[in-house]
Amino acid sequence: MLREAACGFGFLGLAGLLAEQSELYGASANPLAPRPPHFEPKAKRVIFLFMHGGPSSVDILDPKPRLFQDHGKPLPIKRPLAFDKKPPGPLMKPLWEFRPGGESGIPVSDLFPHVRDRADDLCVIRSMVGEGVDHGAALLQTFTGTSTFTRPSMGSWVLYGLGTDNQDLPGYIMIKPTLAHGGSLTWSSAFLPGAYQGTAVGHAGLKVEDVKDEPIEYLIQKGFTPEQQRYELEMLQAVNRRHAARRGHDPQLEARIQAFELAFRMQTVAPEAFEVGKESEATKKLYGLDEEVTSDFGWQCLLARRLAERGVRYIQCTHSYKWDQHTDLFEKHTKNAREVDKPIAGLLTDLKATGLLKDTLVIWMGEFGRTPVSQAGNGRDHNPYGYSIWMAGGGVKPGFLYGATDEIGYHSVEDRMHIHDFHATVLHLMGLDHKKLTYRYSGRDFRLTDVAGEVATKIMA
Amino acid sequence: MKRRLVSPLRGHSSAELGFSFSRRACTLLLACFLPASHSLARAAAPGEFFEKKIRPIFADNCQGCHNPELKTGGLDLSTPEGFANGSRSGPIVSGDNPENSRLLSVIGYEEKLKMPPRMKLSDPQIAALREWVMAGAPWPGAEVTSPATVAEQQAETEELLFTEDQRNFWAFQPVDDPAPPEVQTESWIQSPIDRFVLARLEQEGLAPASPADRPTLLRRATFDLTGLPPMEEEIARFVADDSPDAFDRVVTRLLGSPRYGERWGRHWLDVARYADSTGNDEDHRYPHAWRYRDYVIAAFNEDTPYDQFVREQIAGDLLPSGGPDGVNRRGIVATGFLALGPKALAQQDKDKMLYDVYDEQMDVVTKAFMGLTVTCARCHDHKFDPILTKDYYSLAGIFASTKSFRLPRTFVSKPWVTPLAPEEEYQRYLQHRDDIAAKKFEIVDMVSEHVERHNRRLVGKLAKYMLAARRVYHDGAVLGDLAVEERLDKDVLGRWVSYLSPQTDDTRLHLSDWQSAPEETLPEVALAYHAGFEELACEWRETMRRWRKAVKKAVKRKNMPPPDRPKFDAEEDPFFYDVNFSERGPFALSEEEQDAVIPPPTGAVVAGLRQELKLLEETLPREPDLASSVAEGDLVEQKVFIRGDHHNPGESVSRGFPTILGGRDEPPITESSGRLALAQWLTRDDHPLTARVMVNRIWHWHFGEGLVRSPNNFGKLGERPTHPALLDYLAERFVDGGWSIKKMHRLLMLSSTYRMSSEAAADSLGKDPENKLLTRFERRRLNVEAIRDGLLALDGSLDLEMGGTLQFGYGTDRENSNDRLSMNPEKVDRRLVYLPLRRANLPTLLNLFDFGDATTTTGKRSGTNVAPQALFMMNSDFVATRARNLARTLLDDGSTGNAQRLERAYLITLNRRAESYEIESGLAYLDRLGSEPAASMEDLDAWQSLCRVLMASNEFIYLE
């Protein structure tokens, strides 16, 4: 007769026993166990704010006087490979005023007044370079380093390198990610073990309402009460342990027994992390949850903070697929920026107030910028040759401007930061040497930065 | 002879002269990393230094603009002459004073002119250039080399191309035919393969595991060959069957089951990186992919000889058809192997896109059939294996001379499809379809002119209509009278009245300005509505005009489906949408109403055209079936791309196969792409890799690990065979046996090796922890198909219909629409192999259980254990439903008691009899669930819980 099955709530004891056993089998039992970085990290986690579609750098972070002077004049250089097949339109001046923000005086346009108030937290990089002129290629390269092959995403590499601190939550969470332009390939673990792939919370096509009740698939038991499920799991573990005992405690059988323990804990603990509604009214207001226009991205940002403070290693908020203004730049960028500006500023304010910003690297970027020339009279085409992003917290210089584009904002010319360099830099901030973070697959050692990548040491605080 | 291409540089100014401001993107990123070197330029091989360090810098960073065509700033950096001539402002390297060469100051970003403009070269690159300039800037290409000399040099160096070790590497040696060795324990031998295994064990002083018990063996063989659990009655029959050939008959039965092809076909689909969409950027559907999948399943079920299977997948379209109409349907479909890879259709650098596709095709061909990683040689000679860059491009020439696209250079490229019908029949069909499109267009063109004129007249009176309508619904004016009085169309006005009348709980925000306007401002408000509407109407007319133009163009060009009629987005302007397009919208016109506004003579013509259209539509033949495939293309003189950069072609290479495998001894390929020759070369009986690689895969899928534990990599960085003689023995038997895969299954499965238990004999586990000596049958987790299909089989829900497609539609979908997701395997009951896969968004379940990513060939899946998998077992509706259904089946049998029900539950889920203590603890569990207050479950719930325990158990998910 099975005494352990009869004793009711034996879970904690069992978990302890299993933890001991797992030590016998070494770290291999849990691929997500925290691992030491290569060197002292500046950031422990990442919050990536992805502006899908390609926000226009010359209208947001990279003011170019020459565009005002030469507004309406033809492009003075040969146009590089473009997405638009028609001849380029004339130079088009920025559609918004730029004003200095904070004490650092970093210019940010009127599109982002709230973020501008946080200018002293920002490290603006104006010299990003990618290779894809179409969204798919650009997204894949932004997230995986290449658009040609399926490769692990940056978050997967980070998780592979560092593991995660909170075993009750996934270590790499994509909040409402896009399904387009690579879709889940942008958070895939590719040839890295599956445990390192991102866990999606809904997708960009869903409303927060559709997502929040079961943020992660299979997380919620719907048929049985927790007490009833407890009985079942105890029975299952008893059956499994007896099975394992008769097979000389094969480590893979033990690992699966442990996986059920972990799953049960996750199911008990994780939902609370997603209960954004429990935040105070003041906090919700800070993120714009009280206004319809900002409520979606505000929810994402506030959830990101909740996950960050619970030790999730890598979190992405996604504003998809909004920023692709080949036409109607003024109307649509205005609307887009309104949806994210306040939530982002709220996130920065909140992270700073709670002290999390010190070791949380916040990254704001799109897959590329937009051309200084107009398209269809009132829009701009894709520009991967020189665009702006910003980082904050996590060991980057606050209130700092890095790199520059040419006079018209088309090409990056100074302190050029290719996506490989960007990846090398982010890994460096996380305490990982991008040249050492390798994985042997198909007879070769792979890394996020392939055979390139230089760390931008100038931006380190 | 080295010419010194240096002249003195006189007085360089800082004015913009010489180099131009280049913006051309020309870097291939793989090429950028060049470690610094401080000795090579002056060393014995300056030519090598130039080729390795200097030429790539020029190629990657400069020649985009400084080439013979553009010659930006007068400078051409692609030839020694161009370099010697310098830029418009003179030579760029100073012979007398090399340190002050313009080249160095410009690349050093020391003056106003900075080159390359987009990014300063890396320090090692600058150092290399400096070293080169200081050494006199020797450019070895200045000597003209005749083709004859090249050939001579090649012949001379062939021997030197590869090291002794490379040439003697095991995988490149001819397959041996070893005799099965003698062993001490003859009684253990049931198959020749046992001799190889046991001889090795005896050598190590180890004993094999004891035989697995009958139920275990049956479960193993059934899952192994069909991916499904054995049925209750099969277990009973096998356990009771004492005849010596009982297991033999089980294997025969399973190999004859159609389920076999579904299981083993799926194994091959892993190798073929099969999926139903292009993945990558836009993830367009491959609507015909399923035909290839069905071909693979059928090929396994029919035991198609493997050599034929290989030939068909590479060049099936070129094999004789045997049919009366000369169309080799099977062969064409089989080339889906090449056609169904991931593709970046929206990549705008179309040459890059094409060569990425060829690269992908080469990768799958070389790994799948030869276990070789050839594609590393795209940018440089393979670092570890003897594959030369030239070999890469020789092979690339074959794929570059093959068509993989119908329209390679459209904005979104269109992959190739072949009709599975005679070409004339397909052309007739296309012609007929074009005729329909043309007829439709003729009608639209004729009607739209009049409809537009009518609409324009109505729009001109919009404000008037609104005001009049209000007088009817608000002030009680009589509609008919008012229409006459205001000279408005009575019917239209009627519709305005019903549209504008306030509704209870009116949610039409776009009408609130109108409805809340004070009386005196109404005319003004009406005019505002009018103005906005008129502007949109104007834009919309333009949209429609452009559409008609595009249709006209498509109709003229033929063979191009005309674009769909644009639809106005209701969200953009609900008012405009309602009025123009909603049903009974004030200005909307049904087809009959449209006819009414056409003047009678035209009306008659339109009616005639409609009649003709009807006839055309009725007589349209069925569209011939299509297949995603490849076809012979224009023959390409393939060049080596320096450092993999297609913008930077080097010397030409002939089409052919890898040198180390004797590729250069083959007859030259001149008249065709070489695909057929490649297929034939790969399937020669004496090819050292093809048979070895496949028997190893078969071994791997049976035993969980191959004899070579890296099934896709037989190269230097792959694993060495644990039993080399056995591998060769199997390869020989495979070829001897007519490349029959089913014979191979029998050879392997009817052995003692296959029938061992998973419990190692004493000592063996310690001495053979990784089971490399085959001391036991490796316990392994079921793959996702077996878990999911197996669970569906347990409760009797599995739908065994074979073949066909579950995917509908073409192209891709709106960003972030649910249609971008793959079909959810938890919501369909067909076998998983039949569910279409969208590469960019695979189902959660597949990601969870290590399916892989379906974008590169997979030789080996992993079998991880992570918490999210446990959550699936605990909480998914899918498993809950399976458990509940099974519970119901058990309970429905009223003739038995709970103990017998438990017996049956064990038999169905774990395929063995329950032990008595298991019955006891099961009964106790059911009892507790019913009686303890915290649980207090009904019978069905309790049984569901118990069934789920068995389904989620380690014993279910681990195959022994």
Q: Tokens 């990101």 appear where? A: A304
Concatenated DSSP letters of B520-562 = GGHHHHHHHHHHHHHHHHHHHHHHHHHHHHHHHHHHHH-SSPP
pLDDT tens, B423-437? 899 989 988 988 898
Alpha-carbon separation of residue B455 from A413, B594, B597 (angstroms)? 54, 10, 10
Residue B20 has pLDDT above 60, yes or no: no
Count interface pairs A-B at CB distance under 8 A: 292
Check B955 against A243: CB less than 8 A apart.
yes
Both tokens of residue B551? 């249709």
Q: Which is more confident, A317 or B3?
A: A317
Alpha-carbon span B163 to B385, nearest angstrom: 10
Q: Is the pLDDT of residue B581 over 80?
A: yes
Q: For A429-447, how does the pLDDT look when each residue is reduced to its tens digit (9 = 90+)?
A: 999 999 999 998 877 789 9
Cβ of B346 within 8 Å of Cβ of A137? The answer is yes
- What is the separation of C-alpha B912 from the centre of its chain, rounded to a whole number of angstroms? 40
B32-58: per-residue pLDDT in tens? 333 333 344 444 466 777 877 888 888
Q: Decide: B221 and B254 in contact? Cβ < 8 Å.
A: yes
Question: Using CA of residue B639, residue B643, residue B645, residue B649, what is the dihedral sign?
Answer: negative
Strands B417-419 and B626-628: antiparallel
In Å, how far is A383's CA from the nearest CA of chain B? 12
Side-chain-facing half-sphere of B537: CA atoms under 13 Å:
24
Confidence grade of residue A29 (pLDDT, cut at 50, 70, 90): low
Q: Is A102 exposed, middle or buried (0-12, 13-18, 19+ CB in 10 A)?
A: middle
* Tokens 């119901």, located at residue: B888
d(CA A364, CA A123): 10
Per the CB < 8 A criterion, the answer to whether B428 and B621 are in contact is yes
Of the partner residues A132, A259, A320, the one whose CB lies closest to the CB of residue B866: A259
Helix B214-226 and helix B232-240, axial crossing angle in degrees, nearest 10: 130
How buried is residue B239: exposed, middle or buried, by Cβ count under 10 Å (0-12/13-18/19+)? Answer: middle
Task: Please confirm whether the linkage preceding B116 is cis (ω < 30° from 0).
Answer: yes
CA distance B175 to B177: 7
On chain B, the residues whose CB falls within 8 A of the CB of A80 are 23-25
Instruction: Answer whether residue A325 shows pLDDT above 90.
Output: yes
Residue of A nearest to B347 (CA): A134
Give the distance from residue A461's alpha carbon to the nearest chain B alpha carbon, in angstroms: 24
Report d(CA B117, CA B175) in Å as an integer. Answer: 56
Most confident among A176-190, A336-350, B594-608 (mean pLDDT): A336-350
Q: Do B818 and A205 count as a contact with CB atoms less than 8 A apart?
A: yes
Q: Please check whether residue A374 is in contact with residue A385, taking contact to mean a CB–CB distance below 8 angstroms.
A: no
Chain B residues with CB-CB distance to A197 below 8 A: 847
List the single range of A164-173, B72-81, B325-334 with lowest mean pLDDT: B72-81
pLDDT higher for B128 or B781? Answer: B781
Instruction: Please state the separation of Cα B779 from the chain's center in Å.
Output: 31
A10 or B461, which is more confident: B461
Does residue A321 have a cis peptide bond before it, meaning omega lies within 30 degrees of 0? yes
Q: Per-residue pLDDT tens for A80-111?
A: 999 988 899 999 999 999 999 999 999 999 99
Q: Report pLDDT digits (tens) over B507-516.
A: 888 888 898 8
Band of residue B553 on the pLDDT scale cut at 50, 70, 90: confident
Digit-coded pLDDT (tens) for B693-747: 999 999 999 999 999 999 999 999 899 999 999 999 999 999 999 999 999 999 9
Of A228-242, B134-148, B157-171, B464-478, which range is least confident? B134-148
- Name B186's Cβ contacts closer than 8 Å, sequence gap at least 6: none
C-beta separation of B468 from B571 below 8 A = no
Taking 70 as the threshold, does the pLDDT of residue A394 lie above it?
yes
**What pLDDT does B5 receive?**
35
Q: Residue type for B747, please?
A: L
* R_g of chain B computed on alpha carbons: 37
Residue of B nearest to A267 (CA): B871
Apex A18 CA angle, A12 and A21, nearest 5? 150
Spatial contact of B565 and B547, defined as CB atoms under 8 Å apart: yes
What is the CA A150 to chain-centroid distance, rounded? 18
Taken in order B663, B665, B669, B674, is the CA torsion positive or negative? Answer: negative
**Which of A:139-198 have CB within 8 Å of B?**
139-140, 147-150, 170, 178-185, 188, 190-191, 193-195, 197
The nearest CA of chain A is from the CA of B577 a distance in Å of 20
Report the relative pairing of strands A417-418 and A439-441 from DSSP bridges: unpaired
Q: What is the mean pLDDT of chain A?
A: 91
B831 close to B791: Cβ distance less than 8 angstroms: no
Distances (CA, A) of A383 to A57, A90, A112, A334: 9, 15, 21, 19
Residue A49: what are its φ and ψ, rounded to 5°? -105, 105
B203: amino acid identity, one letter: Q
Residues of B in contact with A260 (CB under 8 A): 867, 870, 873-874, 952
B347:A136 CB<8 A: yes
**Per-residue confidence (pLDDT) for residue B146, from 0 to 100:** 43
The predicted model gives B915-925 an average pLDDT of 97
**How many other C-beta atoms lie within 10 A of the C-beta of residue B520?**
7
CB A45 within 8 A of CB A308: yes
C-alpha distances in angstroms, A118 versus A103, A150, A308, A347, A348? 10, 37, 20, 10, 7
- B959 by DSSP, 3-state: which? strand
**Rounded Cα–Cα distance for residues B393 and B383 (Å):** 16
Q: What is the pLDDT of residues A129-147, one digit of tens each?
A: 999 999 999 999 999 999 8
Q: Are A389 and A364 in contact (CB under 8 A)?
A: yes
Helix axes of B724-736 and B192-204: crossing angle, nearest 10 degrees: 180
- Tokens encoding B528: 């505002």
Mean pLDDT over A53-67 rounds to 97
Cα separation, B847 vs B854, in Å, equals 11
Confidence of residue A3 (pLDDT cuts 50, 70, 90): very low
Length of chain A: 461
Centroid of chain to Cα B195:
42
- DSSP string spanning B812-875? ---TT-GGGSPP-TTS--B-GGGS---GGG--HHHHHTT---SSS--S-------HHHHHHHHH
Nearest to B122 by CA among A42, A185, A453, A232: A453
B79 pLDDT exceeds 70?
Answer: yes
Of residues B610, B447, B452, the one with CA closest to residue B543: B452
| Helix H or strand E segment including A117 | helix A113-117
Rounded CA gap, A447 and B30, in Å? 12
Would you put residue B227 in left (φ > 0), alpha (ψ -120 to 50) or beta? left
Between the two ends of chain B, the Cα-to-Cα distance in Å is 71
The answer for residues whose C-beta is within 8 angstroms of residue B376's C-beta and 6 or more apart is: A444, B382, B383, B384, B385, B387
For chain B, say whether A85 makes contact (Cβ under 8 Å): yes
> Residue A200 in contact with residue A185, Cβ under 8 Å?
no
Q: Chain B: nearest CA to A180, how far in angstroms?
A: 5
Grouping H, G, I as helix, E, B as strand and the rest as coil, residue B763 is coil
What is residue B729's three-state secondary structure? Answer: helix
Q: What is the mean pLDDT of chain B?
A: 88
Under an 8 A CB cutoff, do B346 and A264 touch? no
Q: What residues of A are in contact with residue B781 (Cβ under 8 Å)?
A: 252
pLDDT at position B160 over 80: no
Q: Which residues on adjacent β-strands are paired with residue A361?
A: A46, A393
